[in-house]
């Protein structure tokens, strides 16, 4: 069974397209086809749609298509490291292609790739050799003197980057800067008076509106596809700092780095990822909002790197049970499960169990929204963070730190040493205090080790070996204290537990 994957879409290969045409059976009552005049066809899509009811993208493509470029990134890789499909992005390798000479696609592929295609002989046997690899992507010109935006994964590790324009001119490009966390890269070519795109505001776009992508899917330059915005501010696994625009625009390998246009002909995003079981388009594509990308571009051009803010907390999502446990009416905000010792949040007084409601005056919708909001803050500045604590709001002043690749929180292993345990029937756990040795080993100052879990605790996912640190945000140090807290709790509680090297809140329905 194929697993679903989030895939970078930069590697380009050629495929054959089978075209089919529909027909309408003859009927006297069938209305005559609508005639669109050349003047209407030359209009921008929004105006054409208003007059005809059908978007026409020809004016947009004619005006801004020349500013979209094809990007070729050459690498030197080990043959054995080639990866199939799109998994992992655009760093070389080709998908598996037909190898049977009787297959109708065989000659088509061989025409484009000769004997270098995997499965067709050539380099496949040179497992230990350094083999040149080329991946194709897209980009677009944002200034007439040659600055180009694309995805970082398109040019990641490339030895030579070549830019080809729609009029067949080719330029050797310099990578000005690349930011992997946002997946944005800036290129520069030595040229003047180049056509450029118009930058729009993705905040003004709405779910359901038409959008257009131009790029080089599978190497077919300046291919135009269209669809609608499916969702906004979408968070993806391992992509914490970008609120993606989700669309149903057909985006395939090679579209990476190309522009996403609105009906006014403005770029509102950079096509970056697809969600796929097969490596090809399946109706889910994701674009980086252009306002985020332009901030990265300006920073890369000015300094060569991007500074992001950090708080030094680990957060988790809220649900209705957790919200009820903390006395909140709705499950909004980001629940702090751990605070990095000595970090900006710790210095400001943030605690596990706090629910972050807003940062710098901007509401925090959920835990997925918080990382990008904090990352947008300038390191060294002081900002207000509003939290929910003890069933009331509290404002804290935080001096923003600088984001690095280091972990934002760390914790030790929970011990699993046999000892006498005390049972709490309502919660359904048998617990005992941590020994001094266990506290030192796990870098914990308190906690109750779960020996057995059943009833409500087991249903909530509590396991033997977990360490209970707090109840509804209140630290717990003794077995009797836990019993008292549970006895006086309502229908639900939130347990802060240490599991492996992470701290999380677990909502428990006590019934």
Task: State how far the Cα of 245 lies from the Cα of 206, in Å rounded to an integer.
Answer: 10
Choice among 56, 156, 179, 183 that is catalytic: 183
Choice among 182, 256, 276, 338 that is catalytic: 256
Asked if 476 and 446 touch (Cβ cutoff 8 Å), the reply is: yes
Closest by CA to 69, choosing from 182, 199, 173, 180, is 173
Task: State how far the Cα of 192 lies from the Cα of 169, in Å rounded to an integer.
Answer: 13
Task: State how far the Cα of 4 lies from the Cα of 9, in Å rounded to an integer.
Answer: 15
Confirm whether 153 is a catalytic residue: yes
99-131 as b/e: b if 16+ CB within 10 A? eeeeeeebeebbeebeebbbebeebbeeeeeeb
Confirm whether 325 is a catalytic residue: no
Task: State how far the Cα of 123 lies from the Cα of 115, in Å rounded to an integer.
Answer: 8
Closest by CA to 92, choosing from 139, 16, 159, is 159
Task: State how far the Cα of 223 lies from the Cα of 195, in Å rounded to an integer.
Answer: 18
Beta-carbon neighbour count of residue 50 at 10 Å? 12
Asked if 214 and 267 touch (Cβ cutoff 8 Å), the reply is: no
Closest by CA to 511, choosing from 460, 463, 464, is 460
Confirm whether 256 is a catalytic residue: yes
Which tokens belong to 282? Answer: 């399946």
Beta-carbon neighbour count of residue 365 at 10 Å? 13
Taking the CA atoms of 502, 507, 510 and 511 in sequence, report the sign of the dihedral they define. negative
Choice among 7, 153, 337, 354 that is catalytic: 153
Task: State how far the Cα of 116 lies from the Cα of 91, in Å rounded to an integer.
Answer: 17
Give me the active site residues, please: 153, 183, 256
């Amino acid at each position: 069974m194929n697993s679903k994957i989030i895939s970078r879409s930069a590697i380009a290969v050629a495929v054959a397209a089978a075209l089919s045409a529909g027909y309408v059976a003859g009927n006297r009552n069938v209305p005559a086809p609508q005639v669109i005049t050349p003047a209407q066809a030359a209009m921008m899509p929004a105006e054409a749609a208003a007059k005809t009811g059908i978007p026409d993208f020809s004016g947009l493509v004619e005006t801004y298509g020349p500013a979209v470029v094809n990007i070729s990134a050459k690498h030197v890789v080990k043959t054995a490291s080639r990866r199939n499909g799109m998994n992992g992005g655009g760093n070389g390798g080709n998908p598996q292609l037909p190898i049977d000479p009787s297959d109708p696609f065989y000659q088509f592929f061989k025409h484009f790739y000769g004997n270098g295609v995997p499965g067709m002989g050539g380099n496949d046997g040179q497992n230990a050799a350094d083999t040149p690899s080329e991946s194709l992507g897209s980009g677009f010109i944002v200034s007439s003197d040659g600055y180009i935006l694309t995805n970082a994964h398109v040019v990641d590790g490339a030895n030579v980057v070549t830019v080809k324009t729609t009029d067949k001119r080719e330029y050797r490009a310099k990578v000005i800067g690349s930011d992997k966390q946002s997946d944005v890269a800036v290129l520069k070519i030595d040229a003047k008076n180049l056509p450029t795109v118009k930058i729009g505001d993705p905040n003004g776009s709405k779910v359901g509106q038409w959008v257009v992508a131009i790029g080089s899917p599978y190497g077919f330059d300046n291919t135009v596809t269209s669809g609608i915005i499916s969702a906004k501010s979408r968070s993806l696994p391992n992509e914490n700092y970008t609120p993606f625009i989700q669309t149903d625009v057909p985006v395939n390998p090679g579209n990476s780095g190309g522009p996403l246009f609105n009906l006014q002909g403005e770029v509102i995003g950079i096509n970056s990822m697809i969600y796929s079981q097969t490596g090809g388009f399946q109706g889910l594509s994701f674009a980086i909002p252009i306002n985020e990308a332009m901030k990265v571009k300006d920073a890369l051009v000015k300094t060569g790197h991007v500074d992001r803010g950090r708080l030094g907390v680990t957060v988790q999502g809220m649900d209705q049970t957790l919200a009820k446990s903390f006395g909140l009416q709705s499950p909004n905000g980001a629940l702090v499960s751990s605070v990095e010792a000595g970090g900006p949040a710790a210095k400001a007084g943030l605690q596990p169990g706090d629910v972050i409601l807003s940062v710098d005056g901007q509401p925090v919708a959920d835990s997925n929204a918080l990382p990008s909001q904090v990352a947008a803050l300038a390191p060294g500045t002081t900002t207000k963070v509003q939290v929910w604590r003890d069933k009331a709001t509290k404002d804290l002043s935080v001096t923003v730190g600088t984001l690095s690749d280091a972990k934002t929180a760390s914790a030790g292993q929970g011990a699993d040493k046999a000892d006498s345990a005390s049972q709490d029937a309502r919660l359904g756990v048998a617990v005992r205090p941590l020994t001094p040795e266990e506290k030192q080993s796990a870098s914990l100052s308190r906690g109750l080790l779960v020996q057995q879990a059943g009833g409500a605790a087991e249903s909530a996912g509590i396991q033997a070996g977990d360490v209970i640190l707090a109840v509804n945000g209140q630290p717990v140090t003794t077995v009797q204290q836990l019993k008292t807290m549970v006895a006086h709790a309502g229908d639900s509680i939130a347990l802060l537990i240490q599991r492996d090297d992470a701290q999380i809140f677990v909502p428990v329905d006590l019934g």
